[in-house]
Structure 1
Amino acid sequence: MIIDWHTLNREPSLPALYVRAAMRRKITGTTLPDTGLRCWVEVDPNRLAAYRKVCGFADNGLLPPTYPHILAFALQMQLLTAKEFPFPLLGLIHLSNRIRVLRPMGGVHRVRASVQVQNLQPHAKGATFDLVTSLDDQLGTLWEAESRMLCRGVKLEGEPVEEVLASTLDMMEVTRWKAPADIGRQYAKVSGDYNPIHLSAASAKLFGFPTAIAHGLWNKARTLAALSDHLPTANVEIEVQFKKPVRLPSEVTLLASAAGSSGDFQLVGAGDLEHMTGHWRPIA
C-alpha cells in the first residue's frame, strides 16, 4: 500500500474527536484508507512526570519505551475517527502490541509522530488491522510500533490466521502489584485515552463488561517499568499479546526470565489467570 501522507500543523483536539467517535457506531466498509497522518509534537515535562508516576517508571533521563504512544494518541484518534475509516472506534479490541526502540530515547524534546493503518486480515470474530505508529527526530526513525486491533462483525474472505506468543525460557516471579479501582481514570488523565470500559463499572457495563478493566497499554507500561533492570534501552523489540482483561480492582503477578538481550514475561492474576504474555528480542 502506498500511503498518502498528510502533515498537520498542530495536534488534533481530543474533545472534538471523542464527540466524533461517540457518533460512529456502524461498520461502513471493508477497505482500509491509504491516508497517513504526521505531526511534530513536543514532550511536556509535567505530563511525562505524571505518566511515569502512574505507570511506575523511574526518571532515568530516557523516555519510557511506551511513552511514544501517548505522544501520538491524538493523531491515532484523528485517523481512526476519520470518515474514510470503515470501523467504529468504540468497540475495537486491542489484541497485541509490538514496539521497537531503535536508539536510546534520551534528550527527546520534539519529534515527528506518524500514524497509518494496514494489514487488514480475517479473524474468527471479525477482522483485524494494524495501527502503525512511528517517531522520528532529526537523525531518522527513533521508535516504531504496531498495535493489532480487532473489529467484531466484519466479514472478510479468507482463512483466519491467529498468531500466538509462546514462552521458551524459564520464568520466575519478579514482583506483584495491585491495580486499584481508579487506575483507568488515572491512566486516562495522563494518556488522554478515556475509553468508557476503563473508567468505571457503570460505563464498562454499557459495553458488556461486568466491571472496569485496566488499559492494555497501562498493563504493558507497568510491566516494562518493573522490568527496567532486565531490558536493553535500545535496539530492542518488545511484543505482547493481551489475554484476559485485568478487572479492577485486582492483584497481578509478573513472571519473567533472567535479564539479557532476549527474554520472556507473563502477567497473571488469581488462579494463574493469564492476562498478558510477551517477550523482548534484539531488533533483527
Structure 2
Amino acid sequence: MTPNILSIAGSDPSGGAGIQADLKTFSALGCYGMAAITALTAQNTRGVGAVHVPPADFVAAQIDAIFDDITVAAVKIGMLGSAAVVEAVADRLAFYKPPAIVLDPVLAATSGDTLAGEGVEQAIVARLFPLATLVTPNLNEAWRLSGAPRPFGPAQMREAADRLVRLGAKAVLIKGGDAGGETSEDFFLDGATEEILSAPRVNTRNTHGTGCTLSSAIAAFLGRGLPLLDAVAAAKAYLTGALGAAAALNVGTGQGHGPTHHFFALWPKA
C-alpha cells in the first residue's frame, strides 16, 4: 500500500519550502502527501514579507480530520508559528500516536527571516521533543535550542546533539549544510549510535527549502519502512540529487535562493 505521510507545517506560496516542498517530496518518493497548515506566509525566493498564524484550535481540527479518516504512516512537523500551535500539535499527536514523527524545528527561513513567535523554542523542546522519532535542526537551530556553543565542527555538533538528547530528543540529526567546505556533513546521534553522514557539497544558490525537503524525505522513507539511520541516509542522497539538478528550474529573479528540483528523477531532462 502507498504510505500516507502528513506534513504539519507552514505554507510557502513560491513552492520551494513548507508544505509545498513537503508534498512534492512525498510524491517524488512514492508516498501520498497530506498537509495540516500551521501558518500562511507571503514569501518568495528573496524573503518573507508577512506571516499569518491561524488559531491553534483550527490547526488541531485539521489534524483531527486527517487521523479520523486516514491511516498515517509518518508525520513531518515544520514551521509552527506560535507556542499555542505547538501545544495544539503536541496534544493531538500525543493522542493519535503516529508510528514515526520527524520534527524539523523551523525558526527562520533560508533568507534569515524569523518564522517563530515568542515561546516557540521552549514549547518545542518541552512538548514535541518527547514525541519525535527524530529532530533535525540546522546549525543555528541546534545552537539556539541546545544552548551549546555554535556548532561548526564535528566536536561542537556532537556536543549540541548530546545536549538535545539530554533535553528529551530520542534522536537528533544536526544538518551541517551551512558550515561550508567541500562536503556537507550532518551529525546523527540517538544516544547509542553516532554517525557523520557526508556528501559532496553542491555549488548552487537553489537552497530554498532544503531543510523542509530533507525532513520530509526522512518521513517518507520511514513511512516506507526503512530503519531510521537508513531513512536519513536515503533522504540525504535524495536531497543531494535535488540540489544537483536545481539549475534546470527557472524560479525567481536570481537575487535570492531558488528551490531544489524535487522531481529530478521523474521529469524528462532537457
Question: Do Structure 1 and Structure 2 share a fold, with TM-score over 0.5?
Answer: no
Task: Give the TM-score normalised by structure 2.
Answer: 0.28
- Answer with 1 or 2: which has the greater Rg: 1
Query: Which structure has the highest strand share of the two?
Result: 1
Query: Which structure has the highest helix share of the two?
Result: 2
Task: Give the TM-score normalised by structure 1.
Answer: 0.27
